[in-house]
Amino acid sequence: MSTVLVTGGSGFIAGHCILQLLDAGHEVRTTVRNLAREPEVRAALKAGGAEPGARLSFFAADLTSDKGWTEAAKGCDYALHVASPFPPGVPKDENELIVPARDGALRLLRAARDAGVKRVVLTSSFAAIGYGHGVRKKPFDETDWTDLDGDDITPYTKSKTIAERAAWDFIAREGNGLELAVVNPVGVLGPVLGPDYSTSIQIVKGLMDGAMPGSPKLGFGLVDVRDVADLHLRAMTDPAANGERFLAISGDFVWMRDVARLLKERMGKAAGKVPTRQLPNWLVFIAALRMPEVKLLLPELGKEKHATGEKAMRVLGWSPRSWEQSAVDTAESLARLDG
């Protein structure tokens, strides 16, 4: 079996990647900004059913520093670069996101190239594909790139777009044989392993907690974290994945109100606080004044963006579960975590 480096081991997607790599028999290394987080990460993996023991090792490395990356990559066959800053709100300076996202990707790629790693799988985002285009009915696919001159660009979408473009440019100019594949997930749901989970999970948590009196007119593509991890592993070893991007989406566009109605229907008493009425946009703008995670979503109010995961299914044999199953599993895992 191979030795695989997974960056950002305390993160939601990275945790599920580690679980599946261990289950497949690989040796796994992971980076964290502070080694004091190792017990927490191991506890989360144990909650996910893993007993990694010595097959999992930890290295201290930060996206904003050169220190630690050479040691982490040495002796690895593959690397999954999952670590990337995702803000709880809109930062005052966009470079707080852009610089670590771009420079962190380049640090990992240089270390991987110099260590003789065969292939890096970069976790990008739909944020690098489907923004800045205005209204369109045609589904987005891997040939699309976010237009940074568009009117709905946030620091986060800019950071993911710039980081992914920088990665492809690095491979073209100085990759020296290093292979690259990219996974572009939409909103990621699925079972949480601990308190450190994605901003997308906050949507379900907010509904379950009754944090808002209704559903904003927000929509998104959804995909399960277990399927995102599975796509990373497929992209890591399949020869057909080299040099390719893969959109990770289950089904198509979903309105937040549909998620609320599903939870109300399937979660019984646990969904007692879930609101199913539609909130007017003006009320959402008021809520954003005290909820930074809501402010992040304001540019998307009322917008409908379709996308397709057909390429990943056709090229890599990927088969994601339904968004409905993912949403229910998310809610159930949050209930267990809170209980």
Task: Quick: pLDDT tens for 212-261.
Answer: 788 889 899 999 999 999 999 999 999 999 999 999 999 889 999 999 99
pTM recorded for the entire structure: 0.94
Q: Is the pLDDT of residue 293 over 70?
A: no
Distance CA 12, CA 302 (A): 28
Residue 74's CB: how many other CB atoms inside 10 A?
16
Distance CA 240, CA 269 (A): 47
Active site residue 46: no
The total number of structural domains that make up the chain: 1
Residue 91's CATH number: 3.40.50.720
State the Cα–Cα distance between residues 162 and 145, nearest whole angstrom: 10
Query: According to DSSP H, which parts of the chain are helical?
Result: 12-23, 38-47, 69-73, 95-115, 155-174, 199-209, 225-237, 256-266, 281-288, 292-295, 310-316, 323-338
Q: What backbone torsions phi and psi does residue 217 show, to the nearest 5 degrees?
A: -80, 70
> Domain span at residue 131?
3-338
10 Å Cβ neighbour count for 62?
Answer: 17
Which is catalytic among the residues 74, 92, 158, 160? 160
pLDDT for 152 beyond 90: no
